[in-house]
Structure 1
Amino acid sequence: MTTTSRHAAHLEQVEAPGHMLTRAAARSLAVLRMSVGFVFLWAFLDKMFGLGYSTPSERAWINGGSPTMGFLSHVAVGPFQSLFHNMAGTAWADWGFMLGMLGMGLALILGIGLRIAACAATLMMAMMWAAEWPLAQHTGAGDPTGSTNPIIDYHVVYALSAIVVALTYAGHTWGLGRQWVTLHLVQKHRWLI
């Protein structure tokens, strides 16, 4: 065993002492990790190329469309309406959204940088939760919002899922997590795990 491998094994034991997961649990967490990663990656791909699901090809980012304009300009409820309307279609919001979706998607699918991915997912999902404002039953115009749960919706579930897979080292099963922790940069800066 090389010095790097021994250091990585020690780091794993310090970060996650003992074997707390069964093989089935570790595999289930790996499937959860990749599934949530694909949700983010799909959002990136659909907005980038206009695959015709939520984004038609004429509104694709590569065709000059804005990935944030449609969603943020139609925010019709909540205390942050004007903030989200002002953000809609700005270059920084478009780039931040797209890089975030791509980065979170790849990190979760590959099983690397899961702590950063979990933080980014939590921040982005909190902002999207605030934009949809599931606490409200009706929009400012009196139309139903379609909210089915005022507190826990899919944004919260995605954020919690990203946090869980980061904290349980789900990247080590069917991912590149074990190799990732052996990198000198990652060993030196543990927040990159």
Structure 2
Amino acid sequence: MATAAPSSPTTAPAAPAAAGSARGWGFTVLGVVRILLGFYFLWAFLDKLFGLGFSTPAERAWINGGSPTAGFLGGSIEGGNPFAGFWQFWLSLNPITNILFMAGLLGIGIALLLGIGMRIAAVSGAALYGLMYLAAFPMTTNPIIDDHVILGVLMVALAGLGAGEYLGLGKQWKALVGRKAPYLI
């Protein structure tokens, strides 16, 4: 008579972390990091839209006819970037590039703040950070790694660890759309 093999610990779903445990505390910190990153994206959107005077002066605000992408991409073209032709192409599509960039900042920011749609937000945010990393060549402080790489990897880790479920609406979002559209979790 054959007996069933014991289940592997890697196949069993992880139990939720208790709020008072070290693991629960760590996941709460991930929730805080998620919120901070969400605010970071949302602030960039608002500053570029209204020209709040931090990174974007009022006269270069998007609502005043400025381009949210022209300064950064223009600098990458003039600065000896090996991908200058690629950035020149996107600058030639400036209105489309601006809309995609601003929609990305807004969508990623809201998703991270609320803890919903973490998979799409993480992939989109990591892709945006990856493109910004490539636009920043040549690197000035480290020839390989900069904050764009670290933040992109962090965003993917936040989604993989379910950070939207801590200090966010991730659990409710998962219950609402998880079965119908798991890619939206």
Report if TM-score (shorter chain) is over 0.5: yes
What is the match of residue 23 of structure 2?
Answer: 22
Q: Is the Cα contact below 8 Å between 1:111 and 1:172 reproduced in 2?
A: yes
What is the match of residue 165 of structure 2?
Answer: 172
* TM score, norm. by length of structure 1: 0.81
Q: Is the Cα contact below 8 Å between 1:77 and 1:131 reproduced in 2?
A: no
What is the match of residue 82 of structure 2?
Answer: 79
For 1:164 and 1:36, the matched residues in 2 are separated by 13
Find 1:114's aligned residue among 106, 112, 118.
Answer: 118
CA deviation map 1:14-37 (0-9, x unaligned): 995324671210111011111111
For 2:126 and 2:45, the matched residues in 1 are separated by 17
Pairs aligned (count): 168
CA deviation map 1:33-91 (0-9, x unaligned): 11111111111011000000110001101111110111111111322112213322711
What is the match of residue 174 of structure 2?
Answer: 181
What is the match of residue 60 of structure 2?
Answer: 59
Which is higher, the Rg of structure 1 or of structure 2?
2
For 1:47 and 1:131, the matched residues in 2 are separated by 18
Find 1:103's aligned residue among 77, 87, 107.
Answer: 107
Give the secondary-structure state (helix, strand or coil) at the position aligned to 1:41: helix
For 1:126 and 1:74, the matched residues in 2 are separated by 17
What is the match of residue 4 of structure 1?
Answer: none
Gaps of 5+ in 1: 1-13, 137-144
Query: Are residues 1:36 and 2:46 paired?
Result: no
For 2:168 and 2:175, the matched residues in 1 are separated by 14
Q: Kindly tell me: are residues 172 and 77 of structure 1, through their superposed partners in 2, closer, same or farther at Cα, counting changes over 3 Å?
A: same
For 2:58 and 2:13, the matched residues in 1 are separated by 45
For 1:150 and 1:121, the matched residues in 2 are separated by 22
Name the aligned partner's letter for residue 153 of structure 2: L
For 1:65 and 1:24, the matched residues in 2 are separated by 43
Give the secondary-structure state (helix, strand or coil) at the position aligned to 1:42: helix
Q: Is the Cα contact below 8 Å between 1:38 and 1:105 reproduced in 2?
A: yes
What is the match of residue 159 of structure 1?
Answer: 152
Deviates more, 1:168-177 or 1:86-95: 86-95
Name the aligned partner's letter for residue 56 of structure 2: T
